Amino acid sequence: MSTDEDDSSTWARALAGDVTAFGAIFDRHRDRAFRHAVYHLGNREDAEDATAAAFLELWRRRATVRVVDGSVLPWILVTTTNVARNIDRARRRYRDVLRRLPRQAPSTEEAELLLQGRLDAQRRLAEAAPAIDRLGRTDRDLLMLTAVEEMPVATAAEALGISAGAARTRLHRVKTRLREELGSAPAEVSS
Amino acid sequence: MKSAIEMEPVFTHALRDELLQFAQARRRRRPLWFLGAAGAVSVLVGAGVATAAILGLPGSPVSTSLTEQIVVEGSGSGHAELGTVPSDATHVAVEFTCLSAGGYRVATIQITCASLDVGSRSFFDLPIDDLEGSAITIQTSDSRAWKVTAAYIDRKTSPWAVNAKGETYGVINEVGTPDLIAVEMQAGGVGYVRATDLAFANGDPEAHDFRSPDEALRWQEEAAGTSVLLPAFESDGLTQIGVFLVSR
């Protein structure tokens, strides 16, 4: 079943006004987006808001969404990152929708899992974290998509609207810079 | 290994319903040109849009029915047997109706019906290769009812036309974008907008020569919620006959 991994036909149906296809896109990518949001925000409520805002943005900006390698996931992840960085603005924009959504307080066990998930993700970049914070936004997004989300460089590049060549150059530069700052390059960062 | 971090089910369900309603409420605001991108006329019928505007335009799909429609109703997983595949069939035109809320997989197409979708129809063309022999496979849980109406078709995409200036014109399709894109104009009727004008109005990075993704994002933020009117022409690309509204 070839369309399992390929959003193209589902996305085309969504664009043509078939909202059930939009629902299928949500079903396919919601958990990945949510985990991405948890990584950035570290708690359930903020991550839920960011995920909701990212999918609302997906529909609002559907005319300009980039389908990369047959998938809208890269676009969703980049948008989730952007929304997470400015969660207050996203909350203002989608206030009416967000306040209708039911919330449940996470159990202690869940809270620990969430925290653990963030720590696990952060540990992968722990060595480099302070240096990564000093990177520009595009470099940081590029590193995030390739190192944390394990996306191919070309795919991440397309999602960020830069050429694959430019992405490789940037990653190489980032790697060199991190190596200089840290004394050794983190294993996950490859160009 | 799958992470244990997932969205809470009650929240997920509510968010899903909100997203579908959000999409439902806003889908009609999109210009017609965009609908051509689906590449299947039947999808347009499904979207409840007047197909007459796009049917027969250069670049639109042309489907010829090869067999009578077959109607199969069932519940749970099953097959809709369509009979022998005609040698010139390229697709099966399918109309799928979910009669219960929930998820269905119709051959390769995933359809999820929220409670507000029950009874609504989805239209799509399935490539012949996606059939199991001569049957459409439906997968769902036991209690979910469905109805399939299907017929074999021969589907071709008509070529774009070329005007006196050598510009292509027609609807956006799986081949790409013509120089002049068919749109439904603000006052009704079909006109053509320049692909370059539309790309610029939509914030396409290639049309803008943004120097950085930050610049592109800033542009998108500033343009959000604004509208711009583009000139719409006859297919000659010269005679302006109306305007086309792009909402951003």
pLDDT for res B30: 37
Q: Which two tokens stand for residue A63?
A: 């005319």
Q: How far is B131 from chain A (nearest CA, A)?
A: 11
CA distance B201 to B209: 13
Mutate to test the interface with B, among A3, A13, A119 (most CBs of B within 10 A): A13
Q: In angstroms, rounded to a whole number, what is the distance separating the alpha carbons of residues A118 and A68?
A: 26
Lowest mean pLDDT among A7-11, A30-34, A54-58, B208-212: B208-212
Q: Is the pLDDT of residue A111 over 80?
A: no
pTM of the model: 0.44
CA distance A60 to chain B (A): 8
Q: What is the pLDDT of residue A105?
A: 65
Residue A188 DSSP symbol:
T
Instruction: Give the mutation candidate from A5, A10, A20, A119 for the B interface (greatest B CB count, under 10 A).
Output: A20
A172 Cβ contact partners less than 8 Å away, ≥ 6 residues apart: A191
Q: Among B6, B26, B124, select the one facing A13 at the smallest CB separation.
A: B124
- At A90-108, the pLDDT tens digits run 888 888 888 888 877 656 6
Tokens (6 digits) for B151: 């017929």
Weakly modelled stretches of chain B, pLDDT under 50: 1-3, 28-53
User: What is residue B81's predicted lDDT score, i.e. its pLDDT?
Assistant: 94
ipTM of the complex: 0.71
Cβ neighbours of B30 in A, within 8 Å: 15, 17, 62-63
The chain A residue lying nearest B17, using CA atoms, is: A23
| Chain B interface includes A39 (CB < 8 A) | no
Task: Count CA atoms closer than 13 A to A173's CA, side-chain side.
Answer: 12
Sheet containing B135-139: which strands, arranged edge to edge?
B78-81, B135-139, B102-106, B109-113
Q: What is the DSSP string of B24-65?
A: HHHGGGS-HHHHGGG--HHHHHHTT--GGGTTTSTT-EEEEE
Torsion of CA B187, B193, B196, B198, to 10 degrees: 30
Angle at B211 (CA atoms; ends B208, B216), nearest 5 degrees: 60
Nearest to B8 among A2, A82, A104 (CB): A104
All residues of chain A having their beta carbon less than 8 Å from the beta carbon of residue B220 are: 61, 64
CA distance B63 to B46: 16
